[in-house]
Homo-oligomer: A and B are copies of this chain.
Amino acid sequence: MSRIALAFDLGGTELRAALVGDGGNLLAFASTPTRAKDGPDVVIEQIAMLAERTCSDVPDAKPLGIGIGAPGPLDPVAGILTAPPTLSGWREVPLAGRLQDRLNLPVRLENDANAAALGEWRFGAGRGAASLVFVTVSTGIGGGVISDGRIVHGRRGLAGEIGHMTITSESERCLCGAVGCFEAVASGTALGRRATALTKPGDGSALRTLSHDGDVTGRHVVEAARSGDETALGLIDREARWLGIGFTNLLHLYSPDMIVMGGGISHGYDLLRKPIEATIQERAMPAYRDVPVVPAQLGRHAGLVGAASLIFLN
């Protein structure tokens, strides 16, 4: 039987668990709403319960260990959740140690964006790369960086805060308070905001038809563009140009072998690809221009599979 890891993706709203084979294949899956507000003790019991449930689906399974992706900031070496904004009230929780005691298996902790990057690197779009940058473009922009065969952690595991790199002097104010963040101009939220500003309820536009005359989202723009709507295609072009500027920075700063693009907006990858590439050709220094931007392959399971890989690598 192949090696097996027990993997968790601890989100602020959903807790997901899987038994994962060492080929990155899911052998069993379970999820439950995270009772984050009830505190770490309750959530640790939820994790134990999901461990039992997934393991009972595969009776012979003997997991080698537990990998967990969790919201940062966290200390992956000490296995401590520092102060995750999406798990309010959690401060300095030694999650790895407590789970190790509870479930009697070695536990490895990684932040969720890095876990997803690991997943795509080991089992998805990034297989074989020595260095890659994984970028999720959805409500916000986040990411994880693999450089020379290792996750780039940096101080307190806080490296790779890609969404808050300043790339322009003009934008709506970002949620972080600064102006000009990559996320403020290129996230799905920013794309939706631009589409909403360009249209009006009741104007009969494709975008407002899709949104039922409510605010337009990034997903609506992708959908309208796919059906050939000119306004949406223009918005996609502008979106791709912002993505191209940000991706060019990532090329210059990390020199990855590839950029892997995930998140909700990556469903429009086929529409975004050409203008992203054109922007990179225009702005990147020659040595970086042939680095591919590819779509993520693992979707919502990237983090689970990446968390499992923490166990297989050790």
Q: Which residues of A contact B (CB under 8 A)?
A: 73, 130-131, 147-148, 150, 152-162, 164-170, 176-178, 180, 245, 248-249, 252-257, 282-283, 285, 287-288, 291
Contact = CB atoms under 8 A, between A and B. Distances in A.
Contact of A154 (B73, B153, B157, B255): B255
Contacts of A178: 248, 282-283
5 contacts: A150-B150, A155-B291, A161-B253, A164-B252, A253-B254
Given A73-B287, A148-B153, 8 more contacts: A156-B255, A156-B287, A157-B255, A158-B287, A159-B255, A160-B255, A166-B167, A166-B248
A172 to B, nearest CB: 14
Contact of A255 (B147, B155, B169): B155
A131 B154 CA distance: 6
A160 to B, nearest CB: 7
Contacts of A157: 255
Contacts of A165: 165, 249, 252-253
A290 B153 CA distance: 17
For the complex formed by this chain, how many copies does it contain in all?
2
A122 to B, nearest CB: 18
A257 B254 CA distance: 18
Q: When A and B form their complex, which 7 residue pairs have the shortest distance between CB atoms, in order from nearest?
A: A154-B255, A158-B255, A159-B255, A161-B252, A168-B169, A178-B283, A155-B255
Contacts of A148: 150, 152-154
A163 to B, nearest CB: 8
Given A245-B166, A283-B178, A285-B176, A154 B158 contact: no
Given A249-B166, A252-B164, A256-B154, A159 B180 contact: no
Contact of A256 (B130, B155, B177): B155
Q: Give the one of A161, A166, A253 with max B CB within 10 A.
A: A253
A209 B176 CA distance: 44
A146 to B, nearest CB: 10
A245 B256 CA distance: 23
A148 B73 CA distance: 16
Contacts of A168: 166, 168-169, 180
A160 B283 contact: no
A282 to B, nearest CB: 8
Contact of A152 (B147, B166, B249): B147
A8 to B, nearest CB: 24
Nearest to A169: B168
Nearest to A250: B253
Contacts of A257: 155
Given A249-B165, A253-B253, A152 B154 contact: no
Q: Give the one of A73, A160, A249, A257 with max B CB within 10 A.
A: A249
Contacts of A155: 130-131, 255-257, 291
A176 B282 CA distance: 10
